[in-house]
Structure 1
Amino acid sequence: MSWGIVSMISEPDPLVLAWVAHHLRLGPARIDIYLDTPSPGLHDQLAALPQVHLHRIDGARWPDKLGPRPAQVGRRQRVLIQHCYDRAAVGWLLHIDADEFLRPAPAGNWAAALAALQDKVDYASVRVLERTHIGRPDPANIFDGVFRRPYPPDATEEMARIEGDAAPFLDRGFAAYASSKPFFRTGRNLPLGVHGPVNPRDFESHTFPGRLLLHYDGLTAQSYIQKKLRAIDQNPAAPLARIPNWREQNQAVLRHREDPDALNTLYARIKCLDPTRLARLDELGLILRHDLDLPAALEATFPGLSVDLSVAHYDSYPFTWQKHATPPLHWRVRFGARMLAYRLGFRV
């Protein structure tokens, strides 16, 4: 059973190269990368890989056939994955981001697992674990740390005691999302979303037991903060996001936008485990230790190419974005009132 990966990417080259090298080991028939920002170096390094197909979709090269280029990242993703799915030459299509890595399966490869699914299954989900640091991040390795499993909803009170002042920023222990990512069966005319089909109850689903997606959300403190600021600048309503932990993160980043020390402290609070917190999570079976051995994957895919995986090198890549147009006055007045109410402790 053939399968492929689609991703819209705007990340530093070292991450993209490691992501491609890792996933090629798992046997996809093709990887479609939509480059949201130009990267001539990636074109040169990936051109020799027959499974990898690069598409430029930055502001200067957005295809007219896709309609107007959406301003927000999530909306661009939905347009692109639908476009790729509708024309896919593989049996299954997985949508993941460049900071998400399929864990090699201990029993059977991914093609065999997909081929074993009943024909009625329209999409198959992979559970997600989120990377966290042990103590301070390793400055020499953007992929250091362990992975957290989501805790069950009925453990919320106990987990709040364990998480301490990080609890408001987490959803079941995750800073990003605790849901899954799907493989979509092609040829079914599925209307796609980022985490599943639109109206998922209309389609048959399956969740893989024991097969995981490892999410390196916030590769570095700088990249985490920059992405939060991008979300705020591109969506003026982001500080009042419906998802509570995202709302708390966005509020904190907005509040300390001009204070780098406070922003680094926020990252450490959310993303770094002290020994006591780590031990408690370990006792509950919520920690996975797994080394993807990405340097070996890079050497196998790009022999002789030196790839710097340090924090300093990763952070040296520019990260820019275009701000959302200024909303109309009546919207700003209404939004300002809601923000004030929120800061005064009222539910909005």
Structure 2
Amino acid sequence: MADPLIVPVPQPVETRPDHLRWGIVSTVKAPLRKVAEFIAHHLDLGAHRIHIHLDVPDPALAERLAHPKVRFTQCDDAYWQGKPNRARETHQMRQAFNATRVYRIIALDWLAHIDVDELLLPPAPMTELLAAVDPQASHVSVDPREMLDDWGATRHFKRPVGGATKRSVYPTFGEHVPGGFISTLSPKVIARRGLDDIRFGIHALRLRGKIVRSGTTIPGLDLGHAHAPDFETFQRHLAYRLTKGSYHDRRGHLNPLGHLIRALMDDPDPDALRRFHAEMCGATPERLDLMAAHGMLVSARLDLDAKVARFFGKLEH
């Protein structure tokens, strides 16, 4: 087996929480409110800079959500002119290209590459957590926690499980769904500044095409993922996810979850797909108790409406 790819970290690194600066880069295609929630949540966590690339240019959105710590990039034809054609081909490649470009120009200590439906859920201030990371670690991997269908003041997320626990929590569909997640199990990355020739992938750092292995994790730091927080959202994104996103077949490999979803869509029972979502993402009190008993449950009071109002006032829609 080849040795893991270790990338040396330029020393010294910033270990003083009150001096450390961190930020986020994201390529988004979402309504005004969702973008506002994403930005407001991370400003509230203390992000020093948030770089938003609008995959579909929208100057009005950028103007409405203008903030001293936010930088908007309109990904129009002028932006892409002179850049590699391949970088523009798919949403995933645009994400990776945009994140890598920002990484190379930032004046921050750390940069997180996450999506607009993902929210960092730290157990302590981000500056304290990042300042305490091993100085030799090139990046932090943050595991996803899938948001459940519960719209109370406290939002609930779940950790992946396997074996008998998965079968007990998801008795009908669990054996067909890896980890019990209908979204990705792969982590997202917060990269330390100054690594030579590094490129962002979607779920990893890469150096000359190889995955960098010199990262670490932060205990208790989760990434809340609103992949399908309600059935309507799940259903609305299915066409894209089955043809280009997380449910489509890649490079000749079948996507079992995508094929299960297609089978449920073709089922004569019109409620088959809804029953699948209810089992995998439902949040009845009984299911929350069961998940808590198995150590699967992550709960957080997000107060997104209050955060949006504090940073942007009352949104028009």
Q: Bin the TM-score by the shorter chain.
A: 0.7 to 0.9
Unpaired runs of 5+ residues, structure 1, are 309-348
| 1:75 correspondence with 2:85 | no
Does structure 1 conserve the Cα–Cα contact (< 8 Å) formed by 2:121 and 2:224?
yes
Partner residue, 1:20:
39
Assess, with a 3 A threshold, how the Cα gap between structure 1 residues 222 and 162 changes in structure 2: closer, same or farther.
closer
The DSSP-based 3-state class of the residue aligned with 1:172 is: helix
Report the Cα offset of residue 263 of structure 1: 4.2
The letter of the residue matching 1:270 is M
| 1:32 correspondence with 2:40 | no
Partner residue, 1:324:
none
Deviations 1:209-258 (A, max 9, x none): 112211111244333233331133347x92578575533455346646x9
The letter of the residue matching 1:63 is W
| 1:173 correspondence with 2:180 | yes
The DSSP-based 3-state class of the residue aligned with 1:198 is: strand
Does structure 2 conserve the Cα–Cα contact (< 8 Å) formed by 1:148 and 1:288?
yes
Assess, with a 3 A threshold, how the Cα gap between structure 1 residues 53 and 295 changes in structure 2: closer, same or farther.
same
Does structure 2 conserve the Cα–Cα contact (< 8 Å) formed by 1:71 and 1:234?
no
Assess, with a 3 A threshold, how the Cα gap between structure 1 residues 202 and 159 changes in structure 2: closer, same or farther.
closer
CA distance in 2, matches of 1:245, 1:100: 24
Identity value in percent: 26
Q: 1:65 aligns with which of 75, 82, 105?
A: 82
The DSSP-based 3-state class of the residue aligned with 1:8 is: strand
More helix by share: 1
CA distance in 2, matches of 1:88, 1:249: 42
Assess, with a 3 A threshold, how the Cα gap between structure 1 residues 274 and 252 changes in structure 2: closer, same or farther.
farther
| 1:92 correspondence with 2:125 | no
The letter of the residue matching 1:55 is T
CA distance in 2, matches of 1:246, 1:86: 36
Unpaired runs of 5+ residues, structure 2, are 1-19
The alignment of Structure 1 onto Structure 2 pairs a total of residues equal to: 293
CA distance in 2, matches of 1:278, 1:166: 18
Normalising to structure 2: TM-score of the pair?
0.80
Report the Cα offset of residue 127 of structure 1: 2.7
Partner residue, 2:129:
113
The residue correspondences of 1:146-161 to structure 2 (distance < 5 A) are 146-151=156-161, 155-161=162-168
Deviations 1:69-103 (A, max 9, x none): 53322122112111111222212110011111112
Does structure 1 conserve the Cα–Cα contact (< 8 Å) formed by 2:229 and 2:281?
no
- Aligned-CA RMSD value: 3.0
Normalising to structure 1: TM-score of the pair?
0.74
Partner residue, 2:146:
130
The letter of the residue matching 1:85 is Y
| 1:198 correspondence with 2:206 | yes
Report the Cα offset of residue 266 of structure 1: 3.8
Assess, with a 3 A threshold, how the Cα gap between structure 1 residues 130 and 243 changes in structure 2: closer, same or farther.
farther
| 1:211 correspondence with 2:221 | yes
